[in-house]
Amino acid sequence: MPSRFLWRVVFNAVGLWVVTEYLVPGISVASTEALLIAALVLGVVNAIVRPIVLILSLPLNILTLGLLTFVINGLMLSITAALVPGFYITTFWTAVWGAILLTVISYVLNALLVERD
């Protein structure tokens, strides 16, 4: 049985595909290979970089009542776009909007996996 990390990468890939193809015109991907690599890199960035950034920004995040988390998620998506050739984001706010939608899609898919277990 595949690990949870592998499922999350698959869910990120599906979410990225939906976001790039149907929901956010400012995010594009050149190929299926770039999409899969972006999903893998996003999983690694979310597992390693995001917790560090969240801890360092905790006081400001509390002041903004958690709204800074949306900006941090957009930053993680922007970092992914900077690292993966063939994955493009036009503006930072496009990345924030895409990250919000990607979070919703991944949450729904992850809920389906938990329900199945």
Rg (alpha carbons) of the chain, rounded to whole number: 14
Cβ atoms 102, 27 nearer than 8 A: no
- What pLDDT digit, counting tens, does each position of 71-86 carry? 999 999 999 999 999 9
Nearest C-alpha neighbor of 77 from the set 66, 67, 92: 92
Note the pLDDT tens digit of each residue in 15-42. Answer: 999 999 999 999 999 999 999 999 999 9
Residue 91 has pLDDT above 80, yes or no: yes
Q: Report residue 3's pLDDT band, with 50, 70 and 90 as the boundaries.
A: confident
pLDDT of residue 58: 96
What percent of the chain shows pLDDT beyond 90? Answer: 78
pLDDT at res. 37: 94
Judge whether residue 88 has pLDDT over 60.
yes
**What is the reported pTM?**
0.88
For residue 110, what are the contacts with CB-CB under 8 A and spacing of at least 6? 7, 8, 11
Cα 88 to Cα 29, 48, 53, 55, 78: the distances in Å are 6, 22, 22, 28, 9
